[in-house]
Amino acid sequence: MADDKELIERKSAQERQLRCPLTQEEQNTVAGDLANAIARKKEAENDLASMSKQMKSQIASIEAEIDKLAPVVAARAEYRKVKCEKILNYTTGKVEFIRTDTGESVEKRDMYEDEKQGQLKLGASEHDALDEDPDTDPDDDTE
């Protein structure tokens, strides 16, 4: 019976860049960071007259930080890499991605042609090779 299940679906760990709502603590931290960046920008603008070239470079760096933080504060969420489980259902011909942290389904789609080929019974090393996600760098150790 276990062999039949392997033919119906196959699960593998995946990591996806997904929107994650910020906790209140994270919102406070990012809002504080944004407030500090705005204050530093204002201070740099006041010093601009005496240190024009040096200050212009600093302002550009701070503005980049603001541009990065402001959308996070406004959205109260940010995109992060999240481990997901990829489920190939050979009965329905669908692929589903489930977040491992919340159990939420984040994507459901039809199988690609190469995924449909994965239902053949293979040896362990061949089977493992089929589990690799072509969008994931196997040498990337970031989590």
Q: Tens digits of per-residue pLDDT, 66-125?
A: 999 999 999 999 999 999 999 999 999 999 999 999 999 999 999 999 988 865 555 544
| Full-model pTM | 0.45
Q: Supply the pLDDT for residue 82.
A: 96
Contact between 11 and 87 under an 8 Å Cβ cutoff? The reply is yes
d(CA 108, CA 98): 9
Contact between 91 and 7 under an 8 Å Cβ cutoff? The reply is no
Contact between 89 and 97 under an 8 Å Cβ cutoff? The reply is no
Q: What is the pLDDT of residues 76-88, one digit of tens each?
A: 999 999 999 999 9
pLDDT at position 39 over 70 = yes
- Alpha helix ranges (H) inside the chain: 2-8, 24-47, 52-75, 113-116, 124-131
Q: Supply the pLDDT for residue 127.
A: 45
* Mean pLDDT, rounded, for 53-69: 89
d(CA 9, CA 111): 12
pLDDT at position 58 over 90 = no
* Mean pLDDT, rounded, for 41-48: 82
* Mean pLDDT, rounded, for 29-56: 86
DSSP-derived pairing of the beta strands 105-110 and 9-21: unpaired
d(CA 10, CA 109): 15
* Mean pLDDT, rounded, for 31-59: 85
